[in-house]
Amino acid sequence: MDLASKNKCEGITRDKKPFPGLPVLLLWICFFILFVPNPDLYSEGKENLHYTSLDFKKVLEITETEDTDFYFKYAKNIDADVDGNIYVLDSNRILKFSKDGNFARNMVKVGKGPGEVTYISDFYLENRNIIIHSNYPSKIIWLDKDGKLLKEFRINKRDYLDFIQYYNDTYFFYKFEFPMVQSDGKFMDIEHIIMAVSPDGKDVSKIWTFPIKAYFIRIGGSAGSMDNDAKLNFGITGDRYLFVSHTAEYKIKCFDLKEGKMIKEFGVDYERKKIPGEMKDRYKGGKLTLNNKTFRRPQQIYFSDIEKLLIHDKHVWAVTSTVDKEKGRRVDVYNFNGDYLHTFYMLLPGQKDIYKFKYRIRVQYLYLIDELEEGMVNIFKYKIGKES
């Protein structure tokens, strides 16, 4: 159900002396808007999916070798600035590369002094500047493109925070809170919270809460959780709209950062994809040890319907679990109003653990981290072609 449509119905007003049949007519109109599904949005039938093709031309690959001046520990995020310089969050470092893939420098230093980091949650590019969030203590650091410290301030919050984006002079984060119940292991909703932080870091407010189902354990005062097929994905526009997928099933929500509320929900009917036998070992579930007792999550049965959300040219790309060996991975495209536009298949090397690695689109280029060989991280840059 489109929440924007619901708001339209709730906004109907009446004159003091309405036409006798008008209230009934308006009620029927509201009923159809609210409860009759839009086949273009909610039906996956072949006749309702409009297929198109989109070419991806590899223009750059960065690979660690014995002759390079850098190495990757654990590459977690990637982005590119307005000049095409590439930044990779790797463990507790931010590695900068030129637009041609030449290594430039590590942008940060570990420590507790000005401009230094202790544990980076993430970074965000604002034109030619880089905004970094570090936990323990929680603080925001602004650097210019050469690594010069522009400003720094503490955040008035002791909790561990994950940085999402910067918009309208406000910093947005998310955190999670475990249920206060004892459990030897069961699937439960873990509360996730979007937080807004003021420009000076003094004011921290909760603006949206949503659940993610995970395998939860609490023994005494110790607690932990393990993901299953419900994954958290953000489609970051850099503007007021933040697109979120947080359920195992196909569903996208649009959160308005300016208004501080969720404004719509959309998607298509989707057939869930089972994990094939040859891949089950990779999804058998991690282990968690609490109070000297080891727990293992049950075998994961299905992939997450939406593996990633990407933003390209005012469009939302829902990268799905559907894979065709010849054509690649299915991607459904929507506009920012949540209207389904078309579907294409993205054929790229790797993508075995697509959720694990970050993708980012800047203008007409797709930047991504992937692991073509076990333990060998590669950085790719693809030029996105025109639809045909």
For the segment 194-215, what is each residue's pLDDT rounded down to a tens digit? 999 999 999 999 999 999 999 9
Domain range for 338 = 44-68+232-270+305-388
pLDDT for the residue numbered 388 = 65
In the numeric block, the tokens 């994961």 are attached to: 300
Residue 27 shares a structural domain with residue 55: no
pLDDT for the residue numbered 37 = 35
Is 322 inside a domain boundary?
yes
Is 16 inside a domain boundary?
yes
Residue 342 shares a structural domain with residue 383: yes
How far apart are the C-alpha atoms of 23 and 21, rounded to whole Å?
Answer: 6
Read off the pLDDT of residues 135-151 as tens digits, 9 standing for 90 and up.
999 999 999 999 999 99
- Name the nearest CA neighbour of 130 among 113, 111, 105: 105
pLDDT for the residue numbered 250 = 98
Cβ-in-10-Å burial (0-12, 13-18, 19+) of 26 comes to: middle
Question: Two tokens at 218?
Answer: 């609490």
Read off the pLDDT of residues 19-57 as tens digits, 9 standing for 90 and up.
445 444 444 444 333 333 333 333 344 456 788 888 899
Indicate the pLDDT class of residue 371, thresholds 50, 70 and 90.
confident
Is 310 inside a domain boundary?
yes
Count of structural domains within the chain: 2
Selected residue with higher pLDDT from 385 and 10: 385
Percent of the chain scoring above 90 in pLDDT: 72
Q: How many C-alpha atoms does 15 have within 13 Å on its Cβ side?
A: 6
Is 117 inside a domain boundary?
no
Residue 355 shares a structural domain with residue 385: yes
pLDDT for the residue numbered 351 = 59
CATH number at residue 383: 2.40.10.480
Residue 326 shares a structural domain with residue 374: yes
Is 378 inside a domain boundary?
yes
Is 255 inside a domain boundary?
yes
